[in-house]
Structure formats: structure tokens, C-alpha cells
A and B are shown apart, each in its own frame.
Chain A
Amino acid sequence: MHGEYRYEPKNGFMKWLDSRLPIVRLIDESVMQYPTPKNLNYWFTFGGILTFMLAAQIVTGIVLAMHYVPHETMAFDSVEHIMRDVNYGWLLRYLHSNGASMFFIAVYIHIFRGLYYGSYKAPREVLWILGVIIYLLMMATGFLGYTLPWGQMSFWGATVITNFFSAIPFVGEAVTQWLWGSFAVDNSTLERFFSLHYLLPFVIAGVVVLHIWALHVPGNNNPLGIDVKGPQDTVPFHPYYTLKDGFALAVFVLFFAAFVFFMPNVLGHSDNYIPANRLVTPNHIVPEWYYLPFYAILRSVPSKLFGVILLFGAILVWAFLPWLDTSYVRSARFRPIFRQLFWVFGIVCLVLGWCGAQTPDYVIIDLGPNTTEINRTVDQATKAGKTTEEIAAVRKTAEASYRVTFAVVDLSRILTVAYFLFFFLALPALGRLETPLPLPESISKAVLGTSGATSGGTPLAQRG
């Protein structure tokens, strides 16, 4: 992509600066002149939206940190102080907490766009893996941030998640106590979580720089999944995509504002407005919505270690996507079977999310009495020499208690299997079994005549 255009400094000062620190060159060549495929649809605007959201979270977060106190006796009250006394503190707080949710909505759309259009395939594998790293860092940052208000869900969520590390054989207990800075989630834990929560977004920013750099080497993918053949397939990023991304961003921020101003707590959990109490466990400990599918996967196995392995495996499997998918065709537009499975996979993820929000033994379908158990109980009562009325009462209670059920945990198990089968069975097999549709010759050939103008179309830079 580089080498087809060059920044030309216009005046003496710019030439002087360019020879000492070519920063204007960098901006001009990567954001202004940068040739971008001209057929990108709105699913491709989420990278820009994510960059904005990262900046927004950092700005609101830094100002919040001026007022927040990371000590267990003051954390909850300091957040309320921000909500009540700090000028527009309520706005900063709601922007930051809802901003995290918006950040995750955008990143899920961004990831699924990549999955659909084959943006992870060669030569963009490193770009993709950097994205997985960013996602992991986002999950860590979100988890750390959620503990900071030190509500009931903050404390107990931290307890559940940090206990993952105790599943590691031999060193688990020691590692977990080292992470806690104590023998349980404690003040030391809160203080270090605040430090790390402040640190990680800047690590994310660094990896984002690498991510954009890795993108600019081969250039952007596009909905057709075919390579750019020449300048006729592209338009300069500015003003064509700065304006399109700007529009998409305005609509996204409108959606964001609806939550911030009119339903700021709907994505959260009311238990987090109860100050943390290590002596009282909430009825249902649930993470924020963006972790729910992984929470369901974790709880689908009885073994603690295996559950943790499956949970991290479910995220790390994404890093292997470029090698698991054996098809040479990038875009799902030309892969009819893959397209169907993509939607099924999407539904699997959504329903896993629903499962994560329920208690595992929540009964979805009651399939009838468990006659084996009921008969066993009644036989026990008969052998103990109970009267006919007593046995009838025992039978009645047994019929209510012993049921054959299809519960959330059973559904989670099926869906977890489906989730991993998509990666380890469907994708490798499809490359060999699927007959893709014929690909167009080039981007410009595929979009010929789709503009309002009667002529072939000339980008703004070339117009008189």
C-alpha cells in the first residue's frame, strides 16, 4: 500500500520539520492519503469507533481518578461523592461505566465483522492476533475497573475471578494470595487493582498502535474479501472515510447517550449499590453482561480447573483462527455454508450469554417425574414401616422434588460443545468441503455503475 503516494512538504518550515521529525508525513501517509478500498460498508466503521471509545474511557477515567479514593473504607463513598458533589461527576461516572459497555458492544461487532469477511486470513494474521491481545487486555481492564466502586458485586466478582488462579496445580494457592496481597480479597487487592486499571488502558493504546501499523502494511480488507488491484479500487482515507466514520460515530454516540442520560444503570446490577460486605454473599454473583458467555462456559463443567481452562481456551482459540479456517476465500459473501454457520455461531454466543446470567440449576423444561428416585424414596419409607398415609405423603413430596429437568447448565454444556466444534470441526472441514461462489475480478469491476454519476467516478482529489 505504501509507495504509491508520498507526502510533499509545501513550505520551508514543513521541509525543515520533515527532515527532523517526519510526524506530519506519518499523519498524512497513514490517515490522510492512505488508500482505502472504496467499497467498505458500515461494519468497517467500528475500528474508528473503538479508537474514539478508548480515548473517551481514558479521558473520563483520568478525571474520575482525581476524585476516587482506592481504599476499602472510602471507595464506595468516593464514587457517591463524584455522583453528588463533583461538578458533572455524575456525567463522568455514567460516561465511564456505560462507555465500558459501549466499548464491548463495538469490539464484539468489530470481531464478528472480522470473522465474517475473513479479515483474519493471510496476510493479516498478526493484525488479528494483536486484536485478540487487545481484547484480553480489555477484559482485564474491565474486570479491574468493576471492582473499584467496591460494591457487593465488585467484591464477590473479584473473589470468584481471582479464585481461578487457585485452580493451578501445586502453586495455585500461593499465586492467588500473591495476587490478592492478602489471604482473601482485601484492601490490598483494591489498591493494586486501581493501579493496574490505570495502567492497562495505556498498554492497550500501545497495542492499538501496533494493530493499526499491522493493518497499514497489507491495507484494509473489504466486504468482497478480494485484494486491491490498483488505485481505481481505493479512495484516500481523508475525507472519504473520515467523514463516513464521523457519521457512524455520531450515530453510535447517539446510542451511547441514550444509555448515559436515560437508562444509566440498566446494564449494571443493583447489588453493586450495596457496599461490599465480606460476611454476606449475594444470591447470584454475575459478571457484567460482556463476560456472560464465558461465565456460562466456565460453569458448564463441574471441575474447577477444567472450567478455567475452557474459559481461557474459548478466548485463546480466536488467536488460532487464521490456521483453523482452511478456506482460501476470505469473505462470507462467497461462502454460503460458512455464512449459515456464522449466524448459528452468533446465536450460540448470544444464548450462552443468556445462560451466563441465570443460575445453573434454573429449570428450562421440566420433563416429568424422576420415577427411579421417587420409587427409591417410597421403597425406603415402606421398609421403614410407615403407614399408608405417610407413604402417600412421601410419594407426593418426592414427585415434587425429583424431576427430570433440562436446566441452564445442560443447555450451557450443549452450547459450549457447539462453540468449540465451530472452531475445531466446522472451520477446518469447510475449507475442503465447501464450494465457494465465483469471486469478482476486482473491487472497481464489482461496484461499477453504483454511483449516482453517469461517468466512471472520480475521487475528490482528482476533481478540478
Chain B
Amino acid sequence: MKRISLAAVGLLLAITAAYADAPKEPEAQTWSWTGPFGHFDPVQLQRGYQVYKEVCSACHSMHLLAFRNLGDPGGPEFSEAQVKALAATVQVPDLDDKGEPTTRPGTPADRFPSPFPNEKAARAANGGAVPPDQSVIIKAREGGPDYVYALLLGYAEPPADMKAKMMPGMNYNAFFANGQIAMPPPLTTDGQVTYAEGQPAATKAQMAKDVVAFLSWAAEPKMQERKTLGIKVMIFLFVLSLLLYFAYKNLWRDIDH
């Protein structure tokens, strides 16, 4: 009886009924940080930061990150001097001596500045849509890194049945809900960002991978520490369970139970 019921549940779960207008499923990619031993590649994160800085930060904010985070272990791991230099290239809002708003070069303590002073300005500059903050975007989207990667490279000409439905100013992307996204394709050409000597070629796919890696770190800077500690904790708990099990067995040896 139980077996039949379980089989019925399995059958139910296996039945798929596809939505007519569901977005396309992103393809599964391999990322260096998946799995219990996953780790970020600091060099990839540095390239990713470069892509983020040169392409994305023109429209997107990332207000939960500060420049000092770029030097934290488990992340891009820029040196202290590099962090100071990177911060100094960016202008952050501040007040002058008279209390008037002005800008000054950033310091490691400053948060990443927003490209727009407020939401209204962001909407006005982007056709009515506000570019979402990127701090936790990877965790805020189903499919996470696979989805963002597919989205960045998923821009194409709308198919025949979508052409009539496209609203003015929208771009077609099969991975986005309803296929119409306000963001224009951010990665348009290979070599859009010039990587340093010795780095892989800056193809669109490579830039997308690198920026997704950076965004994944930005969403969860403690991921590596979490997994490292996790392995140690699991080993400890496993040994503890073993010890407790044998102690229990020994204690109950002579009891009929």
C-alpha cells in the first residue's frame, strides 16, 4: 500500500506541464565555487571586478560593498595598496566645508557609490526602469549564476511571434520573464574590456563568466570561509556521532531492549 502510494507521488512529480510563456531555462554552467570544496579564483574575481567597474557600474549600484571588501580573504584579494588605488579612482559623494554636496576620491572605507543620486533619477535615465542593485542579485534570482550568465549572453533578435509584442525601448531576451527586458545588452563586443597581460582573451563569454563570478562573491563574500569551516564541522560531528554511538551500544549491551 505504502509502495503504491509512493509510486503515485513519484509519477505525479514526474508529470511536467510546460507553461506557454515561461522564460527559457538557463543552461547549467560549471563554476569553481560549487560543491563542498568550492572556492573562488581571486584572479577571476579581479577580472570580474574590472568588467563590473567598466561596464555595469555605469547604471547599477552595489551599495552593500565597500572598497575594503576588495582586499578581504576569500575574494578578489587585491593588496592594500591596490585597494587604496582602486578606491581613489572613484568619486564618492561628500560634503564640502560649507556643507554643500560635492565629490571626492574614494577611500577603502567608502561604499561603492551609486551612479544615480536617487531612484527617480535612475528611472529617468533608464526609460522608466530602475537598474536593480547588484549586491545580492545572484541570490535574488532563481537559477543564480547560471541565470545571470545566460541572461547576459541571451540577447537576440525577437522571433517572429514576439516581433509584434515588443514594446518601445525594450530588448528581447529569452531568459527574462515575458522575454522583454529594459536593459540593453551590456556585453556587445569581444575585447570590450581590456584584460591585463597573461589573462584569458576577453571574449563576451569570458567577460560574462568573470563578472558572474564577481557578482557571486559580492552576494556571499563569506562563502569560502563557510565551506572550509563546514568541512571541519562535519568531520568533527561525524567522529562525535561515532563515539556516541559506540558508547551507547556499550552502555546498553546488557539490557534487553
Contacts and interface: CB of A to CB of B under 8 A. Distances in A.
Contacts of A38: 255-257
B81 interface: no
Interface stretch (A113-121, A208-216, A241-249): A241-249
B186 to A, nearest CB: 20
A278 interface: no
Report, as a range, how many residues of chain A touch the other chain.
35 or more
A90 B241 contact: no
B196 interface: no
A250 interface: yes
A53 to B, nearest CB: 15
Max chain B C-beta neighbours (<10 A), residue from A250, A265, A283, A450: A250
Interface residues of B, number: 49
Main secondary structure of the interface of B (DSSP, over half): helix
A449 B8 CA distance: 41
Interface string B221-257: 1100111011101100110110011011001111111
Given A261-B231, A364-B12, A460-B251, 8 more contacts: A38-B255, A90-B222, A247-B247, A270-B139, A354-B12, A444-B256, A450-B257, A451-B252
Nearest 4 CB-CB pairs, A to B? A261-B230, A273-B140, A247-B244, A453-B254
Interface string A433-464: 00000000000100111111101111110010
A254 B257 contact: no
B124 interface: no
B248 A244 contact: yes
Given A90-B222, A247-B245, A261-B233, A80 B253 contact: no
A274 B130 CA distance: 13
B193 to A, nearest CB: 26
Interface stretch (A55-63, A292-300, A340-348, A391-399): A340-348
B135 interface: yes
A39 interface: yes
A354 to B, nearest CB: 7
Contacts of A83: 220, 222
A333 to B, nearest CB: 15
A260 B5 CA distance: 32
A257 B248 contact: no
B255 A459 contact: yes
A347 B9 contact: yes
A243 B1 contact: no
Interface in B160-194: 177
A326 B6 CA distance: 28
